[in-house]
Amino acid sequence: MATNGSAGAATAPGSTGTAARPPAILVLEDGYVLRGRAYGAQGRALGEIVFNTGMTGYQETLTDPSYHRQIITMTAPHIGNTGINDEDCESSRIWAAGFIVRDPARRASNWRSRGELEDALIDSGVVGLSHVDTRALTRHLRERGAMRAGIFSGDALPIGAAHEGPGSAAAIDICLDIVRRTPTMAGRALAGEVTTSAGYVVEPSGAFAGREPVAVVAAIDLGIKSRTPAQLAERGARVHVLPQSTTLAEVLALDPDGVFFSNGPGDPATATAEVELLRGVLDAGIPFFGICLGNQLLGRALGYGTYKLDYGHRGINQPVLDRATGRVEITSHNHGFAVDAPTGAPTTAPFDSGRYGRVEVSHVGLNDGVVEGLRALDIPAFSVQYHPEAAAGPHDGEHLFDRFIGLMRSRRGAPSIPDAGAAAPAHPDSPVKPIKEA
């Protein structure tokens, strides 16, 4: 597979031992340099460098389309221990531009493993870096912010760059010039690069398999993770996953009970067409649910702004306060932009003199106070910034899919969900019963 921002041959390092690995370097746009060893493919990787604080879930992270054009630094020191398997991919390919770890596993050891992580990186042409101080790198990014960076190894590594000494400064300058000519993440429209090329349908599954859907969802793929339509299907929904370029007329032709906007990469300020589509959905009174980029686009559709975070939230251990219930949920995040909306009392949505009525910030990140969710009080629309589909991550937010199902059925005046053999509600805030395990 082609890899974002990578160049050079996808060659194996030959051994997981440090000494046997070819040299590789990381160069940040501010001149920060780390020298280490090649990991995965060799060549060049360019993109925005970010860090992920999850101790597990590297396979889901690498295959999350939201990481398109980004170099991922894993803060957990040992990566690759559980290998890769056939079940945990969130899309059909690895999207990360590059991958940085401190200590790669020498071999995978897990009953679900079907292969080595490094082999998958090589096969996908993903250029990586190992045996560097990822803690020091993470502290640097926290202090200076996410920025452009490049990994250089193999034929892409300039002569003299791998070791300090005479001639190394000139070699590093060559790499630095390449990095600084890479486009910044701010101002980039990337959803169209990761969306499905054609629509497809995910039918009801589990206890609802073979039955008429309890709701029909039009899901706009801006970089959707496979677990998201699966969550809706497990609750009895038929999900039409549609390309990013889908028009309002095409959405309305499906007569959906609800519309969903997925996660995805890029700057929400560039998503003019998507915001116009969303406003058409809101004007039609169709229930709406958005995740991650979908949350940012709901914010912009309502008239609020968005801004770039210094270093973003990425990991599966982020505490978020649900202000309606007072519960603190541990959640999965992957976002570098956020909604700029008042976190106090509900406010009137600014767009078109308050066309969409009142809006409240429903969720707040407890680490830094960032808006993590929106709920419209006068129209059927809500969104969250984090990832409730729990892939990979905790399950605390899965009840939001129940809420969306309930919102869609309420609009149709439908009765409660047919009994699927479930017992107690999954969450006190859940409007429907949980789905019984198949």
Residue 433's pLDDT is what?
A: 34
Known binding site for L-glutamine: residues? 66, 264, 266, 293, 296, 334, 336-337
- CATH for 6-180 is 3.50.30.20
- Read off the tokens for 76: 């957990």
State pLDDT tens for residues 123-147: 999 999 999 999 999 999 999 999 9
- The structural domains of the chain, with segments of one domain joined by +, span 6-180, 191-412
Distance, in Å, from the CA atom of 49 to the CA atom of 59, rounded to the nearest integer, reads 18
Distance, in Å, from the CA atom of 288 to the CA atom of 303, rounded to the nearest integer, reads 16
Residue 412's pLDDT is what?
A: 77
Q: Which residue has the higher pLDDT, 280 or 425?
A: 280
- pLDDT tops 50 at residue 273: yes
Residue 70 φ then ψ, to 5°: -125, 145
User: Active-site residue among 389, 398, 399, 427?
Assistant: 389
- pLDDT tops 80 at residue 436: no
State pLDDT tens for residues 299-308: 999 999 999 9
Mean pLDDT of 269-274: 98
Mean pLDDT of 257-272: 98
Q: Which residue has the higher pLDDT, 107 or 412?
A: 107
Q: Which amino acid is at 169?
A: A
Helices (H), 254-383: 272-283, 293-301
- pLDDT tops 70 at residue 57: yes
Q: Each residue of 57-96: b (16+ CB within 10 Å) or e?
A: bbbbbbbbbbbbbbbbbbbbeebbbbbbeeebbbbeebbb
User: Active-site residue among 363, 387, 399, 427?
Assistant: 387
User: Active-site residue among 90, 140, 292, 335?
Assistant: 292
Identify the DSSP state of 41.
B
Q: Which amino acid is at 56?
A: T
Residue 414's pLDDT is what?
A: 66
Rg of the chain in Å (alpha carbons): 22
- pLDDT tops 70 at residue 406: yes
Percent over 90 (pLDDT), the chain = 86
Residue 16's pLDDT is what?
A: 52
The CATH superfamily of 191-412 is Class I glutamine amidotransferase (GATase) domain (3.40.50.880)
Distance, in Å, from the CA atom of 222 to the CA atom of 403, rounded to the nearest integer, reads 22
Number of other CB atoms surrounding residue 429 within 10 Å:
14
Residue 438's pLDDT is what?
A: 27
Distance, in Å, from the CA atom of 266 to the CA atom of 190, rounded to the nearest integer, reads 5
Q: What integer best gives the mean pLDDT of the chain?
A: 91
Residue 9's pLDDT is what?
A: 36
Distance, in Å, from the CA atom of 197 to the CA atom of 202, rounded to the nearest integer, reads 16
Range from 233-247, 281-295, 419-433 carrying the lowest mean pLDDT: 419-433
State pLDDT tens for residues 189-227: 999 999 999 999 999 999 999 999 999 999 999 999 999
Mean pLDDT of 374-382: 98
Distance, in Å, from the CA atom of 27 to the CA atom of 435, rounded to the nearest integer, reads 49
Distance, in Å, from the CA atom of 267 to the CA atom of 274, rounded to the nearest integer, reads 12
- pLDDT tops 60 at residue 429: no
For this structure, is 292 an active site residue?
yes
Known binding site: residues? 66, 264, 266, 293, 296, 334, 336-337
Answer whether 96's CB lies under 8 Å from 70's CB: yes
Cis peptide before 136 (omega within 30 of 0): no
Mean pLDDT of 291-311: 98
State pLDDT tens for residues 336-351: 999 999 999 999 999 9
Q: With residue 70 as reference, give the H or E element that holds it.
A: strand 70-74
Altogether, the residues listed in the chain come to a count of 438
